[in-house]
């Protein structure tokens, strides 16, 4: 179990222990046998305090972020914890939250996709990969649409080349058909959002490998 989740000194009644329900075991054991997820925050990505837990929920529940400093901006990061109290070390599930001059949450249509990457696979195909997680967003999404410039330099946002159904917090991927041009641009868009998210430029490598050297081994 992570040291910061071990709270026997306060019998589970410290600030972190209360959020984690550690009082049930007097702080001696991790109380969420089905695992859980914890929320951290900071004024910038590099300033997130991973020792102070803002909130904790079961893995299938959502966090609710309400109120904040007037005209302020805060970054929140969600991490999952397994049944043994071991926490993942990731910053994949991150969202920027902004508050107006009255301290009210400015609701965003959808969160941005993050960790977008591209990999050439199966010869001339491209595998796009990205991460998405819902945290207190205003709109419910159904899927991601993938758009391409078809190798001509201008992305066609009218006709998606494919789509991927949204099924929760995780990594998603899409594999194109075989491509003929030397470089492409792709864009992944959340269907209920008008913003363009996750543009990726890809150069295909069609160079043939050099001759293969064969090593012959003989037992003595």
Do 93 and 136 share a domain, yes or no? Answer: no
Q: Edge-to-edge strand order for the sheet containing 36-42?
A: 55-57, 36-42, 73-81, 93-98
Do 133 and 187 share a domain, yes or no? Answer: yes
In a domain, 106, yes or no: no
Do 130 and 93 share a domain, yes or no? Answer: no
CATH number of the domain at 138, please: 2.60.40.10
Q: What pTM does this model have? A: 0.50
In a domain, 214, yes or no: no
In a domain, 212, yes or no: no
Q: In whole angstroms, give the CA distance from residue 220 to residue 211.
A: 29
CATH number of the domain at 33, please: 2.60.40
Q: How far is CA 169 from CA 103, 105, 132, 182, 220, in A?
A: 28, 22, 6, 33, 56
Mean pLDDT of 193-199: 53
Q: How far is CA 118 from CA 92, 147, 184, 189, 216, in A?
A: 17, 14, 11, 15, 37
Domain that holds residue 48: 3-98
Q: In whole angstroms, give the CA distance from residue 76 to residue 78.
A: 7
pLDDT in tens, 37-52: 888 888 877 788 888 8
Q: What is the pLDDT of residue 107?
A: 63
Do 119 and 186 share a domain, yes or no? Answer: yes
Do 17 and 58 share a domain, yes or no? Answer: yes
Do 185 and 133 share a domain, yes or no? Answer: yes
In a domain, 103, yes or no: no
Q: In whole angstroms, give the CA distance from residue 78 to residue 55.
A: 10
Task: Specify the number of domains making up the chain.
Answer: 2
In a domain, 105, yes or no: no
In a domain, 218, yes or no: no
Q: Which residues lie below 8 Å from residue 77, measured CB to CB, with a gap of 6+?
A: 39, 40, 41, 42, 48, 50, 91, 93, 94
Confidence of residue 220 (pLDDT cuts 50, 70, 90): very low
pLDDT in tens, 66-125: 666 777 778 888 888 888 888 888 766 777 777 777 777 776 656 667 778 888 888 888
């Amino acid at each position: 179990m992570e040291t910061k989740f071990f709270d026997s000194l306060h019998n589970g009644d410290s600030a972190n222990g209360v959020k984690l329900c550690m009082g049930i075991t007097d702080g001696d054991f991790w109380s969420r046998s089905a695992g859980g997820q914890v929320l951290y925050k900071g004024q910038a990505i590099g300033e997130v305090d991973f020792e102070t837990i803002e909130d904790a929920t079961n893995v299938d529940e959502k966090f609710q972020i309400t109120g904040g400093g007037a005209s302020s901006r805060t970054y929140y990061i969600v991490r999952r914890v397994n049944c043994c109290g071991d926490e993942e070390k990731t910053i994949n599930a991150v969202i920027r939250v902004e508050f107006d001059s009255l301290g009210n949450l400015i609701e965003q249509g959808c969160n941005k996709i993050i960790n977008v990457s591209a990999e050439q696979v199966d010869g001339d195909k491209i595998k796009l990969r990205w991460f998405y997680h819902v945290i207190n967003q205003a709109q419910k999404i159904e899927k991601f649409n993938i758009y391409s410039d078809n190798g001509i330099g201008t992305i066609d946002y009218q006709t998606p080349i494919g789509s991927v159904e949204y099924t929760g917090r995780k990594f998603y991927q899409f594999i194109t058909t075989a491509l003929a041009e030397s470089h492409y641009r792709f864009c992944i868009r959340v269907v209920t959002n008008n913003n363009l998210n996750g543009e990726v430029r890809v150069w295909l490598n069609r160079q043939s490998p050099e001759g293969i050297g064969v090593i012959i081994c003989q037992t003595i």
